[in-house]
Each structure stands twice: as structure tokens, then as C-alpha cells.
Structure 1
């Protein structure tokens, strides 16, 4: 954080620990990094792709570089090689050419598609705090992280928000194997137990006997009218029904729905909106204190090409930046020492 502050980008820390630029614009970070890269003489070559990479017996790397649009081939010999290609398939091919293994990549950090037309009508409705549990068929092992607490958002195609994204991260591989199907159980009143919810509904009924149920939702639940209507519709309660007409069984059913509202997940969000890829080079194949390969000396990796994925996009940025910093400083120090040794000789 101090590095960004020292280079003119002020940061702020959210309540959940996430860090953002005060400007709330990602371009502040991009512009800062690009500016510093240019200042220290980094050469950015665009429109080219490294198609093959091999290690020679002399400890150097031979790279074949091609242009995307014209018949152009260039060969480059490098003393050090850092691969930070993200989740690019081409990057994985280079990794395989250099004898590293790959944990199969799968999408992570995505929204849930919910086939519920009535829910889709609530697009834009937010919930500051829910407790959500993801149940996956045939997944018998206990995964505590498949229960999350936090904000949730209704979208045109399903559910999103920090809670859903975290669940998608922890369940990424199982969801992939199940075709992105499962059951999401949401508690919309996580700070109240079931008996409290029932009691609030019963007291509300006594207090507002002559009011329509639709027009009078208990304030303790903190629900917007549109979602309260959705709950009533799911329980087949007529909107113009008076509180006096609701049976105790119906009140219990509403309470149960507020505490255990289930949604069938039928896929991940549309438009390939996943933010991160889980999978990549196993961490057992690199030295984390330098990010150097354990298979080839002077070969380094950083970022999403590694089998690392965090529960929000910011953690993945941090992984990329920290890994890149460690790898870069390791290469720089090794090159400096090598240069000194050559001068002595």
C-alpha cells in the first residue's frame, strides 16, 4: 500500500479488508503501474505472442515470437524468464513446454444463474446481510466455506454480490464438475433465530390486524416491499389479504421461507462474467520465497498462471502484484550478483 501512496495513488480500506483507490477507479492503478514501467525503461511489445519456449543445456531460454497479423518470426535468447500470462491457454502451453504440470483451470468468482422469472423482476434489489449456504449434489465432505455471510444482489439472471462470489470461489471445482447446478439456501434474517422471526410476525399480526399484508412488512426484517411481495407470492398468499386473515401455519411458513429460502442454481452468470480462473501450476513446483521454478533455474512465475485464486478480485490482484514483485526482485538481485561475479573474473 505504501508503494502506491508513494507514487501518488491514495488507497482506502473497506470494512471487510478490501483495499481500493480513493478515486474508486481502477484506471488509477493501471495508470500508475504503466507510468512507472515507462520510467524505468520497460519495453512493452504488443501484437506479438510467444509461441514456444525451451530451456537449453547452457541454462538459457529460447523463445519463438510471432506477430498475430503478419508472417513474422523472431527468436530471442533469455537469461531469465518470468511467465505471468494469467489464465491464457497460450501461457499454459508454454508452461507445459517447460515441463511443468497444470491443475486443470476452471472458472471462479462468478454469479449464479437462477431460473425464477419472479426473482428476475427484483433485479437491482440488494440485501446488506444474508447468510447463504450452497448445497451440491454428491459432495459428501464437509466444506465450511460453502456457507457465507455478507451482502447479496439480485440480477436479471440470478444472484450476485460478495456472498455469491465467495461461494463460487470455494465451490469452483465442484460446481464445474456438476455443470454449475446446485441448491442455494438463503437466510434473509441472519441476526434473528427462527423463534424470533415467528414472534415478530405474530406480534405484527396483532398490531396491524386491519392492514394489508403487502403494505406492512415488519421493519425488523429490513426488507424492501418488492421482495416482501416475492415472499408472499412464494407462499401463495393473496396480496390484498389482511393480517387478521393469515393463519398461524401461514405465518410459520413465511418465517421458514425467510430463514431457509431455497433457489435452484442452474448455471453461472451469462456473458462469461467470471473474474478469475482456479487452476494452473501447482505451488509445490515453485519456491514461494523467490517464485522460481523447482524444475528450471532462472525460470519464474507470477499471478494467475499459478494455482492460486482468492475469494474476491482484489485478493487475486494482490497475488499477482506480490508474486510479480517477489519474482522481479529475485531476478534483479540474481542478475546483479551474476554481473558482479563476471566483473571480478
Structure 2
């Protein structure tokens, strides 16, 4: 049983003047907070990679892209969400796609993805610094200057694509990599330009091995005084970190949330303890 200022929870007896609950995104912490009167926003994973059922893509695991623009549409989503378009590095994995841009999308879309059982569509722009017209001109120029060379032997220099991924795009377009640049007709060249600028991937789950970094959900923020991190419902109970309904994108924001919340709670408890002396 936990007893804090007269409020009790049905567990082994622990008595304290103050208690800081900083249990992370664990079910035990959520259960304890609920027993002490708090409501819990249903937890779900956040910051995870996307599973893509594409064997040819998975064979390219390890290939990275310094900069892409990725747009996510979650299955069942009726309205476009600006937060589900992100720019940044991306990585091909053994089961799909990862990297900072994917992790940010998973954070912004965590709850919708959870509801949809992690189903959706991802459109990736592999040349975000170039317009569609510029990509088309690059391909047209390549058709002229490298007419006698094989399409799959290299990607045009001005496109940020490695040869193996370039071959993958050609195969998706059912273009023989051994055919010559000069044999690439206008229609195929246009479709290839479109694919580079808006390449679709079917999302069919989240990354394997439960590799998500944080949990979305937790104790409702309205029930906590964020200036002291003290519970509004259970006096002398403090909460900090992932036990709260707070989760951030990559870049250290989740660490900072835990550190700052813990510092505020610890300082508040220290000041109140000092006042009692």
C-alpha cells in the first residue's frame, strides 16, 4: 500500500512525506498513478521505424539518404495533417525504412498509426532540392549525353541517388537496367521523374523487435501542476518523465523532458521539505 498524505494505493506499504513517480512508460507506473486517482491517456509506441513489405527494398538495407521529404497518410485518415510531412535523413533497413525523418513521422502520427494497426502510405521525394521539372531536364540531358551507356550502370550525377537504389527505381518502373539511355522514351522518362519526386511505399507495420524509443500517453497533463510537477489530485505526489502524457520527436527532446521534469519536481520537494524544518 502506498500512502501519501492520507491517500492510499493497494500495494505493499510505503510511507513518505513526498513521492516522485518517475517510472517511465511502464504499465506498473501507469497502474500506480491510476490507483492514486489519476486518469491515464492510453499509451502507445512512438519513435519507431516503418515496416515495408518490399523484398527488393529490403535487399538494399544500409543505404541511406542525407535528405528526403516524406509524407505519411495513415489508413483511415480523412484530412491531411501538415505535421505528417517531414524533411531529413532516411535509412533503408532489413524490414523497411528508418532514420530521423521516419522517426519524426512516427512521433507525430503515433496515435493514428496505433489505431490503424500501423497501416498507411508513405510518399518519398528523393530529390527535395530539385523541382519535378528540373529532375525531368536532368534525365533528358542524360538521354542525350549518355545515349550509348546502360541505364543501370549509374544514376545521373545531379541526382542524390546511389547506383543500387537507382537500379531499384528502374525495376519498379519495369525498365531493364541493361537497356541504353538512348532507348528511354519520353513516357518512361516522365514516369521515372515522377517516381523520384513522389515514390510510394505501403506501410505494413512498425519495426520489428519492439525497437520504439518512447511511449505516447500516460498521466493526463491537466492533472499535474507543471510549475512544480505536483499532482493536482494527490497532494505531495510528484510526477516526471515518460509517466506523463508527453513525448517528443528525435533530437534529445524526450531526454530533456525527463531531466527538466525531474529537476523541477526534485527542487519543489526540496523547498517544501526545507520549509518544514
TM-score range, shorter chain: over 0.9
Give the structure, 1 or 2, with the largest relative contact order (CA under 8 Å, sep 6 or more). Answer: 2
Cα gap change, 1:78/1:63 in structure 2, threshold over 3 Å: closer, same or farther? Answer: farther
Structure 2 equivalent of residue 264 of structure 1: 202
Q: Deviations over 1:154-211 (max 9, x none)?
A: 0000000000000000000000000000000000000111111001100111111111
Aligned match of 2:2: 53
Per-residue CA shift, 1:302-334, capped at 9, x if unaligned? 000000000116211110010000000000001
Superposed CA offset, 1:54-87 (max 9, x none): 4454xx767844xxxxxxxxx3310001100111
CA distance in 1, matches of 2:67, 2:184: 28
Paired residues in the alignment total: 277
- In our comparison, the structure showing a higher alpha carbon Rg is 1
The 1:284/1:131 distance shift into structure 2, 3 A limit, reads same
Question: Structure 2 residue aligned with 1:232, among 150, 161, 170?
Answer: 170
When normalised by structure 2's length, the TM-score is: 0.97
Q: What's 2:89 paired with?
A: 151
Structure 2: any 5+ residue segments left out of the alignment?
A: none
- 1:139 positional shift: 1.4
Superposition pairs of residues 149-228 of structure 1, within 5 angstroms: 149-228=87-166
Asked if the contact 1:61/1:79 (under 8 Å) is kept, the reply is no
Cα distance in 1 for partners of 2:125, 2:266 equals: 46
Once the two structures are superposed, the pairs formed by residues 47-86 of structure 1 within 5 Å of their partners are 52-57=1-6, 64-65=11-12, 75-86=13-24
Following the alignment from structure 2 to structure 1, what is the Cα–Cα distance between the partners of residues 39 and 60? 45
State which of 201, 209, 214 in structure 2 corresponds to 1:276: 214
The SS at the match of 1:271 is: helix
Distance 1:241 1:62, change over 3 A: closer
SS across alignment from 1:135: strand
Question: Does the Cα contact within 8 Å between 1:54 and 1:97 map onto a contact in 2?
Answer: no
List per-residue Cα deviations over 1:5-64 (Å, max 9, x = no partner). Answer: xxxxxxxxxxxxxxxxxxxxxxxxxxxxxxxxxxxxxxxxxxxxxxx434454xx76784
Structure 1 gap ranges (5+): 1-51, 66-74, 340-345
Runs (4+) off by over 4 Å = 60-65
Within-5 A mapping of 1:63-142: 64-65=11-12, 75-142=13-80
Separation in 2 of the partners of 1:257 and 1:54? Answer: 61
Structure 1 contact 82–327 (Cα < 8 Å) conserved: yes
Alignment CA distance shift 1:214-1:62 (3 Å) = closer
Q: What is the aligned counterpart of 2:255 among 317, 331, 345?
A: 317
Q: Which of 285, 296, 300 is the aligned partner of 2:234?
A: 296
Check the 8 A contact 2:9/2:36 in 1, yes or no. Answer: no
Per-residue CA deviations over 1:264-319 (Å, capped at 9, x if unaligned) read 00000000011100000111111111000111221100000000000116211110
Secondary structure of 1:94's counterpart equals helix
Once structures 1 and 2 are overlaid, which stretch shifts more, 108-117 or 134-143?
A: 134-143
CA distance change for structure 1 residues 195 and 315 in 2, over 3 Å: closer, same or farther?
A: same
Q: Give the 3-state SS of the residue equivalent to 2:212 in structure 1.
A: coil
CA distance in 2, matches of 1:282, 1:331: 21
Cα distance in 1 for partners of 2:255, 2:138 equals 44
| Deviation for aligned residue 1:215 | 1.2
- Once residues 11 and 195 of structure 2 are traced to their aligned partners in structure 1, the CA distance between those partners, rounded to angstroms, is 60
